[in-house]
Amino acid sequence: MKPLVSIIMGSTSDLPIMEEAVTFLKEFEIGYEIQALSAHRTPELVMDFAKKAKKRGVQVIIAAAGGAAHLPGVVAAFTSIPVIGVPIKSSNSIDGWDSVLSILQMPSGIPVATVALNGARNAAILATQIIGTGNKQVYNKLMDFKESMKAKVIVANSSIQQQ
């Protein structure tokens, strides 16, 4: 399947979190790719990736990083494909706020859509929603997904009422 969503992460140590995004994209049959690329350790590769992504047909980039989390912002500097940033609570993170703020507080003109700390699943949902704006089948599947969440809350609620 052609990758529409490209997942990058600062280190393979981010993979256990980012696997949640992979699981969601697989469930929704969205073509994806995943690789480790570091803004600090492999800056040239990051630039090359970001500059070529559009030509390769990538529609959304999910970029995850922990600590001094510059990867999503650097990628966003080189492309106009929407970038969703996932702050990771990593081994070098003080408490997670470092990566949240590094990804969230982008300068005017270079946005990164930032999800919650370790919010890989929400990043995949948002990426799928972006793709769904131009794909009716994906959009309808997302609406069914939201309906199923609603149904779960209603069932859970009725079970506590009966206690």
Which range in 6-14, 21-29, 102-110, 114-122 contacts ligand RP5 by CB under 6 A? 6-14
Contacts to ligand RP5 from residues 61-120, by CB under 6 A: 65-67, 88, 90-92
Q: Which is nearer to ligand RP5, 46 or 53 (CB)?
A: 46
Candidate residues 3, 19, 20, 38; the one interacting with ligand RP5 per rule CB under 6 A: 38
Helices 120-132 & 15-27, crossing angle to 10 degrees? Answer: 30
Give yes or no for a contact between 70 and 104, defined as CB atoms under 8 angstroms apart: no
CA distance 119 to 14: 12
CA distance 67 to 131: 29
Q: Which is nearer to ligand RP5, 11 or 128 (CB)?
A: 11
The helix (run of H) or strand (run of E) holding residue 23 is helix 15-27
Q: Which residue ranges make up the site for ligand RP5 (CB under 6 A)?
A: 9-11, 13-14, 38, 65-67, 88, 90-92
